[in-house]
A and B are shown apart, each in its own frame.
Chain A
Amino acid sequence: MKTTSDDSVIRATDLTKRFGEIVAVDGVSFQVKKGETYGLLGPNGAGKTTTMRMISGLSPLTAGKLTVADIDVTSQAREVRNVLGVVTQEDGLDTDLDAKSNLIVYGYTAGLSHAEAEKRADAVLMFFDLTDKAHEEIDYLSGGMKRRLAIARAFMTSPRVIVLDEPTTGLDPQGRNRVWQELETMKQGGVTILMSTHYMDEAAALCDRLAIMHHGRILAEGTPDELVTRHAGSEVAQVRVSNGARRDVVDWIGNAGFDFRDAGAVITVTSRNGARPDLTGLAGVRVSYRPSNLEDVFLTMAGRGLTDDE
């Protein structure tokens, strides 16, 4: 591998992907530095998965420039997969094989010798605390275990960069915590991680930096704290309102120039200037304040919540 002039492992410039008329990724640029955990945060359909598939060499670029570890993805899609560990959104586990064989087959296909693959599978199973599930049928594993096995598989070749598409979607809280814990351990081991998520708490907990994506574009980029301070201020207001008064309250908030999200019982209000939204003129409602988070950033920038239906 060539030495890099800076320490960026992934460099995406004007990355674009079109499917017919639909623009899935619309000129996205970002860089992921060596050893950092970089997140793509956005709702379903934001273009996260397509971006990650392009980076993994699994989806050809419509336009733009993309290098991973100085390898040009457009001309050397296969070579990119020599340096990357890729965890796709679906676990992609082979239910015709047991857990350990899934790892060995992947390792061997990726280029390890039989002996290396066998040895590495044992090590990886131990790291992910799946040793006692080595010979289990895939269908008998819990969702969290399947996910960890899929991540373990990407680690068979000891990649220095791992691409993780929605590491915890569909997992119960317990399974989720385990995955977080293991990602944290990997990160401390110096692995560069690019991950996508639509959970703001996941992005805040794991990512050193992140890009907020919406409709195929990056709306904002920075550390989680920076993004919150810059775009959602320190605090947001939560307004509890009865159904009868909702309409008037929503009109009032809109006319006052605040961004808000109406989630049924609670209306979340953010101000654009970073200050705590002043709702003193609003009568007949209960208002409480809480610290802002990434969800509020997304709300401010996209005018909708991360998990709202479009």
Chain B
Amino acid sequence: MMAAATSTYIAGVRLRSIAGIWYRHALVLRRNLLTSISWYFVEPFVILVAIGIGVGTLVDDVQGVPYARFITPGVIVGSAMFHAVFECAWGGFMRIQKGVYETTLTAPVSTREVAMGDICWTMTRTVVTAVCIGTVAAAFGWIDNVSGVGVLLPAALVGMQFGALGLIFAALSPNVHILSLTFTVVASPLYFLSGAFFPISSMPDWVEPLAWAAPLTPSVHLARGFVTGDLAMSHLFAGLYVVAWIIVLFPIAATLMHRRLVK
């Protein structure tokens, strides 16, 4: 058959499945480009400027840098997290409800490839948002060295990590009310626990280890390393820690999606 002939497989994964899902998401973005700009640009820009400059006038330098500059890496990584959760938890839930995944599965696509396709796209999306905010921050001079480009790495990692987590929530949630906990109970607290807005060392002693273990924190640490150009072994460990999260979360996401979609 015509359809079978073009398929390439790597380790049992049909590449066209992932490309097709990625292409779908890219078309949706292109179709909603103007409204998407608010997501990719306006919202993080407002946070960066309002908090960075606004709050920045009230506080002294943090860890030797102006406040706006201090929060830049955290805002980039935090926005990446919200994009990932929105795409995979909210978007994923909608695609379950509307039968979009079911339709995808009527093509020769596996549930694992559905999860991979969504996560690949989410990674693209988080990198794009990091480029958008990074450009704004660079224009303000809050990122001023070449190693700042490295923030794209934690942004991509967060895309995969929270993309997988988002799919887990989408697959488990019976309704949108429970799904909304992904934002209120998971994403928002993690954002403030991540050290994006204040150093973890300023948190109460008992919170500190929790904050370091929280899934977003290492990515903020890594992003900050790239932005300041001050990279140490701790940044390597932070990156590996996030990779470990992805390795653990992905199979769970794929399994739960399979259970939800194939009965």
Q: Tell me if B107 and A110 are in contact (CB < 8 A).
A: yes
Compute how far the CA of A81 lies from the CA of B102 in the bound complex, rounded to whole angstroms: 13
Q: Tell me if A110 and B3 are in contact (CB < 8 A).
A: yes
Residues of A within 8 A of B122 (CB): none
Q: Which residue of A lies closest to B97 (CB)?
A: A90
Q: Which residue of B lies closest to A50 (CB)?
A: B263
Q: Tell me if A111 and B98 are in contact (CB < 8 A).
A: no
Q: Tell me if B99 and A157 are in contact (CB < 8 A).
A: no
Interface-located stretch among B20-28, B41-49, B158-166:
B20-28
Residues of A within 8 A of B14 (CB): 78
Residues of A within 8 A of B95 (CB): 94
A233-263 contacts to B, CB under 8 A, are: none
Q: Does B132 contact A (CB under 8 A)?
A: no
Which one of B3, B27, B98, B106 lies within 8 Å of A101 (CB-CB)? B27
Q: Tell me if B23 and A60 are in contact (CB < 8 A).
A: no
Q: Tell me if A91 and B17 are in contact (CB < 8 A).
A: no
B: which residues have CB within 8 A of A? 1-7, 14, 16-17, 19-21, 23-24, 27-28, 31-32, 95, 98-100, 102-110, 262-263
Compute how far the CA of A17 lies from the CA of B42 in the bound complex, rounded to whole angstroms: 52
Q: Tell me if A113 and B6 are in contact (CB < 8 A).
A: yes
Compute how far the CA of A291 lies from the CA of B101 in the bound complex, rounded to whole angstroms: 45
Q: Known: A92-B102, A108-B23. Contact between A157 and B2, CB under 8 A?
A: yes
Among B1, B104, B263, find the residue whose CB has the most chain A CB atoms closer than 10 A.
Answer: B1
- 18 extra A-B contacts, CB within 8 A, seeds A58-B102, A92-B102, A111-B3: A56-B106, A82-B1, A85-B106, A88-B102, A90-B102, A92-B98, A93-B99, A93-B103, A94-B24, A94-B98, A101-B27, A109-B23, A109-B104, A111-B4, A111-B108, A112-B2, A113-B6, A153-B103
Give the number of residues in A that approach B within 8 Å (Cβ atoms).
Answer: 38
Compute how far the CA of A113 lies from the CA of B2 in the bound complex, rounded to whole angstroms: 10
Residues of A within 8 A of B7 (CB): 111
Can you offer 30 A-B residue contacts whose CB atoms are under 8 A?
Answer: A58-B102, A59-B263, A78-B14, A79-B4, A81-B107, A81-B109, A84-B106, A86-B106, A90-B99, A94-B95, A94-B98, A94-B100, A94-B103, A96-B28, A97-B31, A98-B31, A105-B27, A108-B16, A108-B19, A108-B20, A109-B21, A109-B23, A109-B107, A110-B3, A110-B20, A111-B3, A111-B4, A111-B6, A111-B107, A157-B1
Q: Does A212 contact B (CB under 8 A)?
A: no
Q: Tell me if A58 and B98 are in contact (CB < 8 A).
A: no
- Distance between B15 CB and nearest chain A CB, rounded to angstroms: 11
Q: Tell me if B108 and A81 are in contact (CB < 8 A).
A: yes
Q: Which residue of B lies closest to A113 (CB)?
A: B6
Q: Known: A59-B262, A101-B27, A110-B3. Contact between A154 and B106, CB under 8 A?
A: yes
- Distance between A21 CB and nearest chain B CB, rounded to angstroms: 15
Q: Tell me if A83 and B103 are in contact (CB < 8 A).
A: no
Which one of B17, B31, B106 lies within 8 Å of A96 (CB-CB)? B31
Q: Known: A19-B263, A59-B263, A111-B6. Contact between A106 and B107, CB under 8 A?
A: yes
Q: Which residue of A lies closest to B24 (CB)?
A: A105
Q: Does A158 contact B (CB under 8 A)?
A: yes
Q: Tell me if B99 and A109 are in contact (CB < 8 A).
A: no
Which one of A88, A95, A98, A105 lies within 8 Å of B106 (CB-CB)? A88
Q: Which residue of A lies closest to B28 (CB)?
A: A96
By Cβ-Cβ distance, the 4 closest A-B pairs, closest first, are A109-B20, A92-B99, A111-B3, A92-B103
Q: Tell me if A112 and B106 are in contact (CB < 8 A).
A: no
